[in-house]
Amino acid sequence: MMEPRTILLVEDNPDDEELTRRALKEANIANEIIVARNGLEALDFLFGTGAHADRDLTRLPQLILLDIKLPRLNGFQVLERLRADPRTRLIPVVILTGSSEEEDVLASYQLGANSYVRKPVEFERFTDVIKQVGLYWLLVSQAPPIKPQEAV
Amino acid sequence: MIADRADWRWPRRITGASGVLVAGLGVFALLGWMLRVPAWPSLWSDTTPMAPSTALLFLVLGTAVCVRAWLPRADTSLRWAVPIGVLVTLIGLVLAVTSSMGIFLKVEQLGIPILITPGQYPLGHMSPLTAILFVAGGLSFLASLRWPVARRRLPQASWWLACLLMAVGLILTLGYLIGVDQLHGIPAFPPAALTSASFFLLGIGLLCLADLRARQVDPRSVGRELSFGLLLLIFGLLAVGIITIGTLSYRTYEDNYRNEVDRQLLAVWQLKVIELEDWRRGWIGDAQVLYGNSTLSGLVERFLEEPQDQESRRQLTEWLGRYPAAYECDRVFLIDARGVERLSVPETGVALAPHMIQEAAAALGSREIAFLDFQRAKPSGQVYLALLIPVIDGQEGSRPIGTLILRIDPQVYLYPFIARWPTPSETAETLLVRREGEEVVILNELRFRRGSALNLRFPLTQLDLPLAAAARGETGFMEGIDYRGVQVTAYVGPVSDSPWSLVARMDTAEIYAPLQGRLWQTIAFFGLLMAASGAGLGVFWRQERLRYYQSRAETAEALRASEEKFRKAFLITPDAVAISRLFDGRFVSVNAGFTNTLGYAETEVAGRSSGELGLWVAPEARKEFVARLLALGTVHNFEAVFRTKTGEHRQGLVSAAIIELDGEPHILNTTRDISERKRAERELQVLSSRNVAILAAVPDIIAEVDENKVYTWVNRAGVEFFGDGVIGKEAAFYFEGEQDTYALVQPLFDGMEETFYIESWQRRQDGENRLLGWWCRALKDAQGNVIGALSTGRDVTERDRAEARLRESEVRYRTLVEYSPIAIFVSRSDRVVLANEVCFQLFGAAEPGELIGKSPFELFHPDFQASIRESFHELRDHGGAVPLKEGKIVRVDGTAVDVEVTAASFQDQGGASIHVVLSDITERKRWEDDLRTLNAELELGVAARTAQLEDANKELEAFAYSVSHDLRAPLRAMHGFSAALLSESRDRLDEQGRHYVDRIGAAAKHMGELVDALLDLSRIARREMGHQPVDLSALAREVAAELQTQDPQRRVEWVIADELIAQGDANLLSVALQNLLGNAWKFTGPRLQPRIEVGTLPRTSPASAPASGGEEGGTIYFVRDNGVGFDMAYADKLFSPFQRLHGMREFPGTGIGLATVQRIIARHGGRLWAEAEVDQGATFYFTLESA
């Protein structure tokens, strides 16, 4: 069995980050979690630029959990860039946000998000949501066949 | 005065009760004799019974006493009581004489056979003491009778005799209670126990009778002295106490003494039995020594085989000779196997009795030692006992050789020992007895009978014989008679290992001899004690009586003095006083007032009744009077009409009382002649009622004051004005604040003025000040001094006010017209008669003449003159007012001015006038132009504001956006970490800590909900509105279905009207319905039959919409539930965000829902309101854009 691939969590709030980690752990999702604290860092990680210039780009995350409101580049901008790049175009992106604004939902899907999930305040429900998202995108859903060499 | 007094009741009751008891005991004894039940007259004891003659006398006397107590009328009769008393006394006398002389008359037994076996006393006969007591009783009874001549000494004698009876009876009863045996020591034979008790009771009854009689002789003594019954009761209690104590003390002594005697008897018995047993054992031991002795048997054998052998004879004689010498054994015999007496020591020549030889042979045959009990030797008649010892051959060990007989003489030791008694006693002794067949034989010599040993025999069956009981084998104390037939007390019991029984006994008489003395001591002591207490009480009673008689003497003196006083009053009073007998109404005495008033001379009246004289005009009035008098004892101020001798009628006021004169009830009445007074009263009544009517009917106040201006009288109107407390008040009190006016009346009181009119404000009782107009007139006495004033006052406030109002109205009107900023003129008969300053200015007139006196029509522009004229004439003819009209006037200088005209007609003295009001509207016309310009400018302003509003809206959106993203994150963190804390550090938290963490989580969660709700609310404002037909019915059903899905357990009755089609935004309206129906769902939760309705109000209904609700004309939708409702007082808070009318615990929620609905409805241009009542459900109404 192949080594489980990573999850990229784009989240500027350390509380949310920790809660998300906890939730994933409680859901027994053992994939490595890489955290990007803002949009730019996320893009740097994905494309191997800036601080991640020497990263092994063959390893792309299996799932990106993306917040909308982020410092520097916001979630929409990140999504737009991801979808514009052939290397990352197919990576499943789940928008994970506090907002339930209609326009946010609309914008997310228009920009090619795979899913829009609102983070509930209650931890039990939050855990539940994260668990379901994790299970679905990591286990149930067939991942797109991404070949790293192709990407290079 | 026959009636029983209350304090006589007790002596009567006691008398009755004791009489019945005595008679009852007599009957009881007689019945006992006649029915041959001897236990009755002797009261189940072995004492003397009550003789039949005694019983009969008790029956007679008891009945007589009881009849006198219960039938007071019988008490007055001597006819039957005297013979009874005399009879009882005489019989008592005769029997006392005969009985004490020892002559017993057969007739006494009344022919009843006396069944009791005669004993010590002659039964069925009266004891001499009884007879004497009957004499005392009969005399007491006679003395207590109501003899024609009342003497105080008689009841006293009766009383003392009864006391004697009671005391003797009591003492005798006491004696019986203590023990009748000991009473036998008195000389004459005593009265029976029943007789003694009966005498005691009879004494009580007679004592009470005597007391009653004493009271009758001196009736006024009643109630003054200590109740005799009470004294008697005290004495009875004392007596019972003394008797009880005496009895107990004697009984205790007796018991102790008896125990002592019994102990002594037992001790003697035991001593003797032990010694007897020792004695027997000693003999048998000696016999055994001889029995087993082989030397003796060898010696005996040798002696028997060789009788000639002197040596063996000598040795044997020597051996056996020791016994008679040392012991009480008088002779020893040797009998050989053939039964021949071979040897006797000492040798007396008297042969052994043949039966002894037989016994010896039997002993030899059985080879056992035998003890031969007491028996009388045949020839000598002496009593012996004997020991028979078989002699057995020493070598062979089995061959009987002969028998040794040791003969014992009881006279030597046994009899003296038995006869001995360790203490000195005259009668005590011990008896040794033996049973022989069915008889008991006395074995020893007795103290009181010689030669009794083995000669005296009694049958075993004689039960009262302690000897027999001993022989029967009984053990213990017993009483009975001994061989002499004397009463004894004994202890009996068998002597072990023997056929004997031992009796230790003593004469009962000897035992009780010391007790007898003690008894008499006790009786004497307690008898003295009782006598002393009785005497003490008696002295006390006499003392009481003495005191009473003294006080009576004093009251008698006081009575005489008062009688004298009243006699004088009787004679000199002017009222008619009469004393008549109650019984027949005949006058006994009348006074001078009586003869004067009624015109009869005293001699004409005396001995006649008022009925005969016809004094009462109305006989039924007299009947009523007498009835009241009899019922109440006194009558006060009874009004009646009397007829005088001349037939004249007089009105009288009668008072009367029943008095007792010479022991007979009389009526004392006094009559006052009130005829004159009545007539005067009547006249005054007529006069005064007329005046009263006049004074009451006058609406004006009429008041009288004295010279100090104090009200002495006012009429009804005055009281109504000033109040009840007016009389006695100074007039100044009511002139508050009007001192000046008040001072004006002074000349009247100084005598300067006769009459006077003033007006002054005065305080009415309700506190209001009224203007009164007063006419005052001085009141003078005969000398012409002013003694007060009489005033009539009229309330002129209304008149005054009316005048003032008229004046005010005129001034007001004139001022109004003159200073009005509007031009006004008045036209009368088509001429201007008045115009105000403004009017002059309007027309530019300088002189009054330029307007006044002119035709009003000419003032107007010619274009309007015709219509103005028409209007004015219309007004003049029909009144009313002309509505506002535009017109033009022409100024003096000829210029035209735009005006508005109104006119109104009114009537005044000069006929119809027309008021015309002109307002210059030149200015207004100019304003209207300005307004149009302004409006145009405003449009521009609005556009600018709208742009600003849009900016603000954008800002709001940005804010909401930021809230949406950022505000929830910290809440999530709070909730998340508190959950983490709970899950990971649960053990390190205590209960309290866990609770706090839970609370943090819950708060964060609620905050999240609030934020969401706020966002929803803001979204509604920000949202683009659609405008299309919306099916509210369908929406409502969807919402209902959803609610049902969320809570499938609940059953709610939904009533959703069909085809509720509205114009608006479907999404927003759906949200509105979600909230409204959600609330309805929530608040009907506690209902058993929840019901939610959605519908519209009919257009014509008097819509429950408040204020302008109905005017909008749009459809009114409603959502109605039967839930918990709310208080309408808080309805205004309902639609503000975060306002909640229910507790979070009862109904959770954010408080945003209705605010959201309000927004939505507002955005639709409609209105939302609610109607509710606590616990009665709520209805929410809304309209949408009316378009």
pLDDT tens-digit series, residues B80-128: 888 889 999 999 999 888 888 877 777 777 777 765 555 556 677 888 8
Q: Report which of B1008, B1074, B1071, B1014 is spatially closest to residue B1039, judged by C-alpha positions.
A: B1074
Chain A residue with the nearest C-alpha to that of B957: A101
Question: Closest residue of B to A102, CA-based?
Answer: B1019
Three-state SS at B883: strand
* C-alpha distance from A119 to closest chain B C-alpha (Å): 8
To the nearest whole angstrom, how far is the Cα of A48 from the nearest Cα of chain B? 29
pLDDT given for residue A152 in this prediction: 36
**A18, A122, A128, A131, best to mutate vs chain B, most B CBs in 10 Å:** A122
Among B249, B180, B209, smallest CA distance to B15 is for B209
Residue type, B51: A
Q: How many CB atoms lie within 10 A of CB B238?
A: 17
**pLDDT classification of A149: cutoffs 50, 70, 90:** very low
Q: List the single best residue of A68, A123, A127 to mutate versus B (max B Cβ within 10 A).
A: A123
Average pLDDT, chain A: 84
With CB atoms and an 8 Å threshold, state whether A69 touches B965: yes
Instruction: Show residues of chain B in contact with A22, CB under 8 Å.
Output: 976, 980
Q: Which amino acid is at B607?
A: G
> Could you please report the per-residue DSSP string of B699-713?
SSEEEEEETT-BEEE
Q: Distance from B1086 to chain A by nearest Cα, in Å?
A: 28
Residue B421 CB-density burial (10 A; 0-12 exposed, 13-18 middle, 19+ buried) = middle
Beta bridge partners of B1044: none
* DSSP code, position B787: E
Helix, strand, or coil here: B348? coil
Torsion of CA B1140, B1145, B1146, B1148, to 10 degrees: 50
Chains A, B: CB contacts within 8 A come to 70
| DSSP assignment string, B403-423 | EEEEEE-TTTTHHHHHH--SS
Tell me how close the Cα of A56 comes to any Cα of chain B, in angstroms.
Answer: 33
* pLDDT score recorded for residue B397: 61
Closest CB from A22, A101, A120 relative to B980: A22
What values do phi and psi take at B364, rounded to 5?
-65, -40
Instruction: Return the structure tokens found at B147.
Output: 């003899």
Q: Is B272 helix (H, G, I), strand (E, B) or coil?
A: helix
To the nearest whole number, what is the mean pLDDT of chain B?
82
| pLDDT given for residue B1111 in this prediction | 47
Query: pTM for the full model?
Result: 0.34
The beta-carbon neighbor of B976 closest among A19, A97, A100 is A19
Interface check A69 vs B, CB under 8 A: yes
Q: Which two tokens stand for residue B167?
A: 């005391």
The minimal CB distance from B965 to the residues A15, A97, A102 is found for A97
> Cβ A123–B961 below 8 Å, yes or no?
no
Pull the structure tokens for residue B516: 């007898």
Query: Rounded to 5 degrees, what angle do the CA atoms A10, A14, A16 make?
Result: 70
Chain B residues lying within 8 Å of A101, measured CB to CB: 960-961, 964, 1015, 1019
For testing the chain A interface, which of B965, B981, B998, B1065 should be mutated: the one with the most A CBs within 10 Å? B965
Closest chain A C-alpha to B973 CA, distance in angstroms = 6
pLDDT for position B225: 46
Interface residues on B facing A, Cβ-Cβ cutoff 8 A: 960-961, 964-973, 975-980, 1001, 1004-1005, 1007-1009, 1012, 1015, 1019
What pLDDT is stored for residue B1162 in this prediction?
84
pLDDT at B316: 82
What's the confidence (pLDDT) of residue B294?
Answer: 78
3-state DSSP assignment of residue B341: strand
Classify each residue of B601-630 as buried b or exposed e, where b means 16 or more C-beta atoms within 10 Å of its C-beta: eeeebeeeebeebebbeeeebbeebeeebe
Residue segments in chain B with a per-residue pLDDT below the cut of 50: 1-4, 181-185, 221-226, 1102-1112, 1187
- State the DSSP string of B439-486: EEEE-S--SSSTT-TTT-EEETT-TT-HHHHHHTT--EEEEEE-TTS-
Name the residue among A101, A91, A87, A95 with its Cα closest to residue A152: A87
Q: Which residues of A fall within a CB distance of 8 Å from B1015?
A: 100-101
Q: Say if the Cβ atoms of A98 and B1012 lie within 8 Å.
A: no
Interface touch B973/A101, C-beta < 8 Å: no
Q: How far is A152 from chain B (nearest CA, A)?
A: 36
| Structure confidence at residue A1 as a pLDDT band (50, 70, 90) | very low
Instruction: Name the residue facing A98 among B964, B980, B1004 (closest C-beta).
Output: B964
Residue B208's nearest CA partner among B164, B170, B158, B171 is B158
